Structure 1
Amino acid sequence: MKKSTTGLLLGSALVVGLSGCASSASQSSGMGDTASSDRAWYQSPFVCGLAGGLVGGGIGYATSSDSDEDQGAAIGTTAGATLGALLCAEPNRTPAPEREARDTDGDGVIDANDQCPGTPAGVAVDAVGCPLDSDGDGVPDFQDQCPGTPAGAEVNALGCEEDLVLRDVNFEFDSAKLTMGAEQILADVAEKLRANDNVRVRIEGHTDSVGSEAYNEDLSQRRADSVADYLATQGVDRNRMRTIGYGESQPVATNDTDAGRAENRRVELGEWE
């Protein structure tokens, strides 16, 4: 066989063989460090370099004239070994800075340090990425309807020790129509209920003793319904709310004074279990 033909065949073998090794090495490296540790023996840069040197030397010898066969073989061996080692070398595995600094939930704590991934947008978190719980009652601030609960107090899913009186949730005189100030207060209640969407609530209406018992019971029911309807407009599922009108039957103060009657006219929010 002529030297030129031998050189062509050996060159083709070098390109095909080393390309295959490199392709396999690249696929393995894409599977992570575990996969790269299990690379086949023929994917090693050393083996690829050795094979490249042998084939390259053969190409150099086959394509050289009779007078410089040794020099051609030496050059081919060096070039082949270098090419083989480079093709099968491990890629640079230094993590990209942006990957290390990724903050998927946007809470200011990178994923590598975040013990509470998936925090809702805008929620204040602590140093390890968990929502703040200022009173330590187990209900995060962004869901807590009763912030500032005393330490060690037992609370319900709303973060309250007992039913919450919705202070300043008032109605127009002798009506179930909410005042503008009441709507502003209820908007904050709704925000926390949306964030605490696995909790169902009771909304209770109460009146003073002015008027008939039947009238007051009906008025308190309409007022409780009005609160629930407003919360529903703010994104709280109506099926999560139960309304009850107690009328004048559960006073918390005397009905003999203006101040006492004002306390009795109230709406309470509690957990519906």
Structure 2
Amino acid sequence: MIALGLDALFRVASGRAKWPAWALPATVAAVLTCANVLLPWQVIAPTYAPPPASATGTQPGDPVALQPGERPLGARFLAAADAPVPVAELVAYELWPETVRPGQALGVTLVWRVLRPLAANYTIGVHLLDANMVKVGEVNVYPGRGAYATTLWRPGDVFRDIYWVPVQREIAQPVLGRVKVALFVDATAQADPAVVGQHLPVTDARGAPLGEAAIFGRFKLAPAQPPAHPPAEPVAGPGLATVGDTIRLAAATWQADQTPVLAGSVFTVTLTWAALGRPPADYQVFVHLD
């Protein structure tokens, strides 16, 4: 296309000036050479560049300037279970948007601090969990979109890594979601089968063990389509209770023919709600039997 365009240009200009025979191929060669020189540096290199890092202290808990929306966490990843020395700290995180549905992705920003050199290239697993701790989505990648392997991490560096984690399972009803992050050796990173699947142990900021992953954050998992509700009938009377200015518990019924209620059995309680206005947030309902 470049050659055709330049050829047309030279044909138009040839009526006004005499161009040597070598002018067109030389111009095409110059344009392509410039593109070949600039393209790797201007387009390809930034795509595969590691995340920008800033230097801080190498001790867990050293102050880190967080950006708006980031929440502190302080989870420490240890070298091994028998060598409880922290090698990396998950300083903070950010999740967005507030609600995700099947087919959509949750944005996850992880703020890492490198404490000590890591001897292996670990994969970062970022998993989405539902209210029952069942995995509903996952991304397992090297840090920095594959450009910042953990063996390249420098002690004292703090950097932010962004992941988009899709919801890969159907969601029947709105539930609270959590995020699970682990560092592990996958099958492609290490030929020795003895260490494939090996996870770094994790503790919280006080040193209490958390197992093989840090679980944190809250977001809303919602069905692909909001459930259809029949037209609501007006609810008269003050009801049983009012929550703020927007929600009223109008009535509560339960099955009276099941006595006694045994452990493991199902006891059905039906709650009738009346919306007095638009609630300012998503609330959860807890039903306790005394």
Higher RCO (CA 8 Å, separation ≥ 6 residues): 2
Rg: which structure is higher?
A: 1
Question: If each structure's helix is expressed as a fraction of its own residues, which one has the higher value?
Answer: 1
Name the structure with the higher strand share: 2
User: Fold-level match, TM-score > 0.5?
Assistant: no
